[in-house]
Structure 1
């Protein structure tokens, strides 16, 4: 194969990948709208593909079905919130912040701001209308969230340490759900700020 043929093949492959990724993104965006409007049970695949301007075959190619599409939407949400928090913490570290609690609060603010931006999805997860096994998946992700918070706080492995991190994570999760129900950003900001104050008062690094 000539160099020109190789370059042409590479360009074609890149174009096809980009087009495939655009289709996948369009289906996820449409699924977000349809699921949030109608819930998981009452949503139909045909409504999603119509909203995305795609086809049923394309949806099954990318996701496999309605359940897999719902899970992919949730994973996309989880990945986005984790990415936002990680980037916020990394920026704080680059700016010179080293205190574990302050870094934890940076991540907390980022997470809660994300709950406001994605409040339609927060309400969708709260409704409990998901496919079989979804709640089990959420609990597993929740345990991983607690583990990451423990690392960020520099918590030890003692039972009290695990309790403190679990309580803090629950407080943040509940604040996120409250923000999901807000209709005004100022109310969401008030909840975020109150959460930060509450965590400071708990003084988690000095509980023991």
Structure 2
């Protein structure tokens, strides 16, 4: 009997079994395909991108792409979900840190989250710019609207405004300022321009945030 007979194929690590290795390889494959899709979509847009071009860039196969994602549309939506998730995490982490440091004023916390969100818009501008265009798969507009509504609800809770017409309009206006500032930032050519846009947006929010009585 050979020494390696009956042993699982592939590298083994201390404290890990074959299952964890398989998961690691799966995650790595997904990451490589997503990164390739991000580059291709950013370069030519969704409509002109092809599965063949993505897998060529990823050094993968069409079968692997369809196995992990289902197709070009699902790849685009997965990238959008990933980007939105990273933006939400960035803003939430900044707010949590501010609270930990003793900040309790709703408007100050909102501005902290806004600054973090806009910083992420600059850092991820290559991909973010793609999501601002109307070039996307079926269902993308609905997903974007659903995310926008969820963002409004989160901001309402953060700002602690009353659930009445004035409160809803105030939250919508402040959230729109962040959204429009983000649009401008992702098309900026320098970090200085992005910072100026952020500062201008924050100044507008501060002027409009007269409800902050904390």
TM > 0.5 between the two?
yes
Equivalent-residue separation in structure 1 for 2:33 and 2:210 (angstroms): 42
The match for 2:207 is 201
TM-score (norm 1): 0.93
The match for 1:78 is 84
Equivalent-residue separation in structure 2 for 1:123 and 1:189 (angstroms): 17
Equivalent-residue separation in structure 2 for 1:96 and 1:32 (angstroms): 39
The match for 2:133 is 127
Equivalent-residue separation in structure 1 for 2:212 and 2:95 (angstroms): 22
Shift of 1:203: 1.9
Change (3 A) 1:100 1:206: closer
1:112 pairs with 106, 118, 123, which one?
118
The match for 1:50 is 56
The match for 1:168 is 174
8 A Cα contact 1:27 1:54, kept in partner: yes
Equivalent-residue separation in structure 2 for 1:76 and 1:54 (angstroms): 21
8 A Cα contact 1:27 1:59, kept in partner: yes
CA RMSD of aligned residues (A): 1.9
Shift of 1:148: 0.3
8 A Cα contact 1:164 1:204, kept in partner: no
- Note the alpha carbon deviations across 1:106-130, whole angstroms, 9 max, x for none: 0000000000011112211122100
Query: Number of paired residues?
Result: 203
Write out the 4+ residue segments of structure 1 that deviate beyond 4 Å after TM superposition.
Answer: 7-10
Greater CA deviation, 11-20 or 197-206? 197-206
Change (3 A) 1:204 1:52: farther
8 A Cα contact 2:121 2:128, kept in partner: yes
The match for 2:25 is 19
Unaligned stretches of 5+ residues in structure 1? none
The match for 1:150 is 156
User: Between Structure 1 and Structure 2, which shows a larger proportion of helix residues?
Assistant: 1
8 A Cα contact 1:153 1:205, kept in partner: no
Greater CA deviation, 127-136 or 107-116? 127-136
1:32 and 2:38 matched: yes
Unaligned stretches of 5+ residues in structure 2? 1-7
